[in-house]
């Protein structure tokens, strides 16, 4: 089969990436609106949700790692036309995700308050955070299954279905979030607890809808069947997922540590960092979408024994991401004052948010490179290179940088985000080197 031209490859990449971008956009909108609503309750509630989500991100790191391992194996099997093997991998990854979700749910039930205190949160933040944490994280199996089910569909080249499901549940989430937080027609609202229940309810809907769509594909499997450990597929899945899990855990634990350092600066600084992060996360949208496309196309190309096509798909996806995210950086720089004003009326906090976003604007091209090449390498079955880049960037640059620049040198929020920018730059250079070495 003749290879596609670069223009044709770009169209194929965008056909997969754009639905994933739209899905990420609506997920991001929900997080943005959720934080916006919670910010109306007060900075304590914002900090409580921020600290809780920092811990929850550790859980999600494991679930995403399982999705990465499953995606790589499924994409290669689909590329080779072996759907029976792909279906067996789907079954193993689903049961692995279920086990991981149940484990983290039990941990949350018994140790929610302990984990929040370990983050260095103040007592009033812990009191609010426990309410939110238990409701959203005890049913962690919903998060794990949504993550893996979405990865299964994308690895098979179907990014439209997760997008459509994400669209509908997020449209439902926003008004539900408002009603449960603030109340309506005599119902007085539940505050931060309402935000947690709204999130959990839409996750139930998302999990069910994704599974029902998998049942309509050639990867369909009955979720009611008993678990059978299949060494042939389970062990390679764990082999691929383990470095990805370690990579994400290193990143998340690093975040937990440097979040703790930010809390030490002041609650206002941490609240500003949380707000800036919720605004900045929109910039990840094109990068994540193109990373999904790169992982899928690189994996399928290698499964079909088309090495050069795999390399070209990775390169072209990276160039597109840099263009997209450089434009986003310009928007971040100029629109940061307006965005900050949506979240807080406090002049000091607003100024810190603007400083963070304007520093981050210059880091967007490097973030683009890192996201897409990490996805491309994972699609190729290399989950170790992202692990190395995260270890170096998070622990040798970001954590130490936050301590030195943010605390020791007294730069505050500017020191925090300068450290993040330096990390993204170094990580991009390292992943470019690893991708070229592996694929050329």
Amino acid 102: pLDDT: 92
**Three-state SS sequence of the chain:** CCCCCHHHHHHHHHHHHHHHHHHHHHHHHHHHHHHHHHHCCCHHHHHHHHHHHHHHHHHHHHHHHHHHHHHHHHHHHHHCCCHHHHHHHHHHHHHHHHHHHHHHHHHHHHHHHHHHHHCCCCHHHHHHHHHHHHHHHCCHHHHHHHHHHHHHHHHCCCCHHHHHHHHHHHHHHHHHHHHHHHCECCECCCCHHHHHHHHHHHHHHHHHHHHHHHCCCCCCCCCCCCCCCCHHHHHHHHHHHHHHHHHHHHHHHHHHHHHHHHHHHCHHHHHHHHHHHHHHHHHHHHHHHHHHHHHHHHHHHHHCCCHHHHHHHHHHHHHHHHHHHHHHHHHHHHHHHHHHHHHCCCHHHHHHHHHHHHHHHCCHHHHHHHHHHHHHHHHCCCCHHHHHHHHHHHHHHHHHHHHHHHHHCCCCHHHHHHHHHHHHHHHHHHHHHHHHHHHC
Residue range 342-350: average pLDDT?
82
The predicted-structure confidence for 136-163, as pLDDT tens digits, reads as follows: 889 999 988 988 888 888 877 777 888 8
Amino acid 32: pLDDT: 66
The predicted-structure confidence for 301-315, as pLDDT tens digits, reads as follows: 887 788 888 889 999
Given a cut of 80, whether residue 120 has pLDDT beyond it is no
The average confidence (pLDDT) of the chain is 83
Given a cut of 90, whether residue 403 has pLDDT beyond it is no
Given a cut of 90, whether residue 430 has pLDDT beyond it is yes
The rounded percent of the chain whose pLDDT value lies above 70 is: 94
Amino acid 1: pLDDT: 43
Residue range 374-400: average pLDDT?
84
The predicted-structure confidence for 209-245, as pLDDT tens digits, reads as follows: 998 888 888 777 776 655 566 666 667 777 767 777 7
Split at pLDDT 50, 70, 90, the class of 429 is very high
The predicted-structure confidence for 48-90, as pLDDT tens digits, reads as follows: 887 887 788 778 778 877 877 777 788 778 777 777 788 888 8
Amino acid 245: pLDDT: 73
Show me where the domains of the chain are located.
Answer: 6-439
**For residues 79 and 326, which has the higher predicted lDDT (pLDDT)?**
326
């Amino acid at each position: 089969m003749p290879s596609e031209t670069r223009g044709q490859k770009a169209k194929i990449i965008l056909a997969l990436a754009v639905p994933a971008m739209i899905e990420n956009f609506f997920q991001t909108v929900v997080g943005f609106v959720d934080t916006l609503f919670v910010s109306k309750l007060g900075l304590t509630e914002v900090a409580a949700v921020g600290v809780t989500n920092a811990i929850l991100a550790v859980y999600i790191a494991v679930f995403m790692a399982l999705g990465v391992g499953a995606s790589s194996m499924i994409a290669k099997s689909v590329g080779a036309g072996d759907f029976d093997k792909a279906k067996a991998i789907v079954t193993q990854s689903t049961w692995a995700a279920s086990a991981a979700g149940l484990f983290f749910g039990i941990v949350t039930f018994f140790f929610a308050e302990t984990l929040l205190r370990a983050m260095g949160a103040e007592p009033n933040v812990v009191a609010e955070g426990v309410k939110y944490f238990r409701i959203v994280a005890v049913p962690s199996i919903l998060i794990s299954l949504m993550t893996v089910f979405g990865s299964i569909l994308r690895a098979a080249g179907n990014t439209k279905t997760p997008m459509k499901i994400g669209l509908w549940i997020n449209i439902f989430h926003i008004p539900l979030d408002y009603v449960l937080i603030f109340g309506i027609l005599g119902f007085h609202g539940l505050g931060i607890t309402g935000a947690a229940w709204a999130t959990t309810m839409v996750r139930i809907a998302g999990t069910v809808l994704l599974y029902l769509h998998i049942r309509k594909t050639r990867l369909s499997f009955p979720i009611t069947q008993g678990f059978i450990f299949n060494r042939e597929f389970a062990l390679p899945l764990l082999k691929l997922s383990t470095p990805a899990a370690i990579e994400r855990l290193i990143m998340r634990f690093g975040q937990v540590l440097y979040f703790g350092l930010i809390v030490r600066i002041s609650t206002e600084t941490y609240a500003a960092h949380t707000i800036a992060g919720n605004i900045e996360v929109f910039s990840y949208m094109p990068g994540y979408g193109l990373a999904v496309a790169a992982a899928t196309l690189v994996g399928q190309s290698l499964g079909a024994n088309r090495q050069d096509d795999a390399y070209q798909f990775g390169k072209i996806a990276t160039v597109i991401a840099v263009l997209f995210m450089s434009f986003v950086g310009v928007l971040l720089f100029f629109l940061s004052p307006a965005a900050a004003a949506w979240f807080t009326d406090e002049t000091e906090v607003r100024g810190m948010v603007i400083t963070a976003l304007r520093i981050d604007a210059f880091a967007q091209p490097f973030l683009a490179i890192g996201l897409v090449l990490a996805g491309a390498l994972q699609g190729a079955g290399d989950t170790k290179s992202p692990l190395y880049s995260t270890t170096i960037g998070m622990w040798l640059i970001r954590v130490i940088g936050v301590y030195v620049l943010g605390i020791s040198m007294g730069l505050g929020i500017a020191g925090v985000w300068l450290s993040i920018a330096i990390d993204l730059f170094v990580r991009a250079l390292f992943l470019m080197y690893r991708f070229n070495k592996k694929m050329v």
